[in-house]
Structure 1
Amino acid sequence: VLLAADAADLALKAEAREPAGQLTITAPVLFGHMYVAPAIVRFMQRHEKVRCSVRLYDRTVNLLEEGIDVGIRISPLEDSSLVAQTLGTIRRVVAASPAYLAQHGTPRHPRDLAGAPCVRGRIDAPAQWLFRDGGKTISVTPNNRLEFNHLAPAIESCAAGMGFGTFFSYQVMPHVAQGRLKLVLEDFEPPPRPVSVIYPNARLLPARTRAFIEWMKMEFSGLRL
Structure 2
Amino acid sequence: MPKDSTKTRQKLIAAADALFYNQGIRAVGVDAIALAAGVTKRTLYYHFKTKDDLIAAYLDGRDQPTLGRYQALLPKAGEPAALRVRRVFEHLAKSCQDRQWRGCSFLRAAAEFANLPGHPTRLIAARHKKSFEGWLADILRADAIADAAELARQIMILFDGAVAQILIHRDPGYAASAAEAAALLIRNADRRKWKSGARAG
- Provide the TM-score with structure 2 as the length reference: 0.26
Larger relative strand fraction: 1
Higher RCO structure (Cα 8 Å, ≥6 apart) = 1
Bigger Rg over Cα: 1
Q: Given the two structures, how large is their TM-score scaled by the length of structure 1?
A: 0.24
> Which is helix-richer, 1 or 2?
2
